Amino acid sequence: MSDSRTASRRGVPPPGRARGIADLPDVWIRYSPADRRRYGWRTGVMMATLAGCMVAVGLAENGSGRWWWVAGVGILALAAALDMINRIRGRTRLTAAGMEFRTLVRRRRVPWSEIAGIEERHRTSRGGTWTDLRVVRLHGRPLAVPGTMTNRMRDAELDRKQVAIREYRSRAAAAPTSTEAAGQP
């Protein structure tokens, strides 16, 4: 294999070519293994608590009405668990063409040309303040970026992810289109 092809696979442009968006290697944005374990434990504790509530209601309530309560709490627990697993497993891939969002239940691609900006969203609840990144699109509603939710203040990992997304976006905006690269007006 020639040196130029080997170098381009490593993300280094061949000699005589400037580094553009197509030369960047794909980058995955996801939770670290420690974060996945931490959120997994939180999900497990929440599920154990809701299972305890289901057992308590099932044993305390008399008659056929208790099964409605058990089923209601069970559906709530299942929905909450699936939401957390979907968040934990979610990841984003930055490519030359755009962003690819992958979660447990959905895949979505957003080209760089449709992205107007990246913003931080802060939500405050009884459990604290949660921060995540959102893609603001030119047309349509903003989309949450999988793998970026955190409850830590001034999280360096979230800042690193935001810088990576903005760097890819700025390189995509500066990259010539295919007609400009071919020398056509």
pLDDT band at 173 (very low <50, low <70, confident <90, very high): confident
Give percent above pLDDT 90 in the chain.
13
Predicted pLDDT at 174: 75
Given a cut of 60, whether residue 93 has pLDDT beyond it is yes
pLDDT in tens, 101-110: 999 888 999 9
Q: Do residues 132 and 149 touch, judged by C-beta distance below 8 A?
A: yes
> Average pLDDT, stretch 125-148?
88
For residue 86, report the phi and psi dihedrals to the nearest 5 degrees.
Answer: -60, -40
For residue 26, report the phi and psi dihedrals to the nearest 5 degrees.
Answer: -65, 145
Residue 180 lies in a domain: no
pLDDT band at 8 (very low <50, low <70, confident <90, very high): very low
Predicted pLDDT at 158: 87
Residue 183 lies in a domain: no
Neighbours of 175 (CB within 10 A): 17
Residue 70 lies in a domain: yes
pLDDT band at 17 (very low <50, low <70, confident <90, very high): very low
Q: What do you get for the CA distance between the two ends of the chain, in Å?
A: 35
> Average pLDDT, stretch 169-179?
69
Residue 119 lies in a domain: yes
Q: CA-to-CA distance for 158 and 165, rounded, in angstroms?
A: 11
The domain total for the chain is 1
Predicted pLDDT at 22: 62
Both tokens of 83, joined, read: 């939401």
pLDDT band at 92 (very low <50, low <70, confident <90, very high): very high
Residue 113 lies in a domain: yes
Q: CA-to-CA distance for 180 and 185, rounded, in angstroms?
A: 6
Neighbours of 150 (CB within 10 A): 17
pLDDT in tens, 20-57: 556 677 888 888 888 889 888 988 898 888 888 888 87
Residue 41 lies in a domain: yes
Given a cut of 70, whether residue 90 has pLDDT beyond it is yes
Rg (CA), the chain: 23
Q: In which domain, by residue range, is 63 found?
A: 24-173
Residue 44 lies in a domain: yes
> Average pLDDT, stretch 101-129?
89
Residue 91 lies in a domain: yes
Q: In whole numbers, what is the pLDDT of the chain averaged over residues?
A: 79
Predicted pLDDT at 110: 93
